[in-house]
Amino acid sequence: MKCHFCERRCDLADGRSFCGNFAEENGKIKECWPDQWCTYSPSRIESVPFYHAYPGSRSMIIGTAGCNFRCRYCSNGFIACKDPAQLQDVMYTIAPEKLVAMAKKMGCHNIVFNVNEPAVSLPSLQRVKKYAEKQDIPMGCLTNGYTTPEATQMMAEIFSFVHIGLKGFSDAFYKEFVGIPHIAPILRNIETFSRTCHVEIASPVIEDVNDHELFDIARFIHDIRQDIPWHVFRLLPEHNMKQSVYPNIDRMNQALETSRSLLPYIYFHNFVGSRWVNTLCPGCGEVVIKRFSLGCSGDRLDAFLAPDNTCTCCGTAISMLGTRVGWNDKQTTVWESEI
C-alpha cells in the first residue's frame, strides 16, 4: 500500500513512511503519532513570516516531528529531520479541542503550523480544523509543497493561508540540497493553492548555488499572480551546512534587482536589521507597512499605514488577507476549561 500524503508515495509495506509518521494497518493508512505536538506558543504572524495576512495578529505556533524533505540547511533539523519515534518524549499530547482552547487562552487570533512539514500530520490537523472553525480561528501553515494532489486538496480545506517554500528552480538543486528528484509537483501545488488560499512564497538563497535561479522563480510567480508576496531568505547555515559561508547581503540584494520589476512585493530578510522588510505601495512607492526584523522568526509589525488595505497617498489597494489586527484584541485571563 502506498502512502498518499506526499509525492514520495512511500510503500508502507516496507514499514513506516519516509517521514516516519504513517504506517499501514488493516489495509488503511494509520497516523502513527496523532495529536502529538512539539510546541504551542504565541508569536507574531510576521515572525512566521506572513507579511500579507492579518498583520499584527497573534498566532499560536504549532508543529509536530518529522519531514518528507532532508534539506541540508534545515533550521529545525533537530526536530524535522529526526525519526518521530525517537522524539515522543519531547512531544505534548494535546487533543484537538484542547489545542484550540489553548489558542484562546493565549489570546491568539489564528493557528499556524510552522516547525516541520504539515503534510506529515494532516489527519491531526484536520481534527484541529474542525474545532478551530467552530471558534472562528483561521489556520495557516508553512509547507514545502511536495504533496500529492489529494493531500494538497486536504490542505487547502484546512488552511486559509499558506506559505510555500520554493527552494530553488531546478531538479538539480532539489536533488542535491533537498533529496527529492523533481520540482514539478511543487510548482503544480503552488498554482493549486493560489486558486483557493492566500499564498506567500519563500526561497532561501545560497550564494553561487541557487542565486542564478532567482529571476526564474520571480517569473514563475509573476505568471501565476504578480501580487503573491515573495520572501527571499538569506541562508542561515545550519544542520549539515553549518560550515558554509553566509551569503553576502549586498550581492544577494543586487541579484534581486531585476526581479523587482516583475513583482511588487519582494522581501529580502532572515537576518537581523534587514532593510527590505517594508511593504511599498505598488502604485506610488510609498511605505505602507513598516516592519522590523530580528532575523529568523523574529520579525514584527512596526506600523500599518494602509487603512482599509489602501495606500493613503494614491489609493492603490494593497494585497492582503484580512487587515490590521490589534495584538491584544483577544487577550484574556478568564477562559472556559473546554470548548
Partner 1 sequence: MSQAIIDAREWQNTFDLETGQPQTSESPAADMAARVLSRHPYPGDVDEQANQWVTRTALDLIEQYDPDLVCLSYVQQFFADRHFTYARKERERLFASAMEEAERFIEKSGFTPVIVGTGDMIPLKGEMDLSGLDGLAVSSNWSARYCGIHAPSRHDMAFLDSLDTLERIVSRDQWIQMFATAQHDLEIHQDTNLMPDFLLAARQGHAFKTMGTTLRKPVHIPAKNFLVPVFSPLGRVDDLRDIKPLIRSYLPDHKIALILVEGVGERFFPASRFMCQNGVDWFCNEPGDAFYLTVSTGKHQPFAYPAGYRFFDKDADAIKFPFSGYMDTIPEHTLAQDFPGKSIAVGNRSMFMHMVFGVDISIECFARNLFNQGCMAVVHREDK
In whole angstroms, how close is the CB of 329 to partner 1 at the nearest point? 11
Closest CB to partner 1 among residues 24, 46: 46
Closest CB to partner 1 among residues 188, 300: 300
DSSP for 204-269 reads: EE-TTTTGGGHHHHHHHHHHH-TTS-EEEEEP---GGGTTSPPPPHHHHHHHTGGGGGT-S-EEEE
In whole angstroms, how close is the CB of 195 to partner 1 at the nearest point? 33
CA distance 172 to 308: 44
In whole angstroms, how close is the CB of 128 to partner 1 at the nearest point? 15
Q: How many CA atoms lie within 13 A of 224 on its CB side?
A: 23
Q: Which cell goes with 1? A: 500500500
In whole angstroms, how close is the CB of 61 to partner 1 at the nearest point? 10
In whole angstroms, how close is the CB of 297 to partner 1 at the nearest point? 8
CA distance 198 to 312: 24
Closest CB to partner 1 among residues 82, 175: 82
289 DSSP β-pair partners: 279, 304
Q: What is the DSSP letter of 98?
A: H
In whole angstroms, how close is the CB of 75 to partner 1 at the nearest point? 7
Closest CB to partner 1 among residues 261, 333: 333
For helices 184-196 and 214-224, the axis angle rounded to 10 degrees is: 40
| CA 91-144-93 angle, 5° bins | 15
Contact 247, 254 (CB under 8 A): no
Closest CB to partner 1 among residues 89, 136: 89
321 DSSP β-pair partners: 53
Contact 16, 23 (CB under 8 A): yes
In whole angstroms, how close is the CB of 234 to partner 1 at the nearest point? 8
Contact 101, 267 (CB under 8 A): no
In whole angstroms, how close is the CB of 294 to partner 1 at the nearest point? 7
Q: What is the DSSP letter of 273?
A: T
Contact 293, 272 (CB under 8 A): yes
Closest CB to partner 1 among residues 30, 82: 82
Closest CB to partner 1 among residues 154, 305: 305
DSSP for 10-47 reads: -BGGGSS-TTS-EEEETTEEEESSTTEESEEEEEEGGG
Closest CB to partner 1 among residues 209, 294: 294
Closest CB to partner 1 among residues 13, 334: 334
In whole angstroms, how close is the CB of 289 to partner 1 at the nearest point? 14
Which residues are near partner 1 by CB under 8 A?
38-42, 44, 56, 58, 75-76, 78-79, 89-90, 92-94, 98, 102, 105-107, 115, 236, 238, 242, 246, 248-250, 271-273, 275, 292, 294-298, 300-302, 326-328, 331, 333-335, 337
Provide CB contacts within 8 A for 11, sequence distance 6+: 1, 2, 3
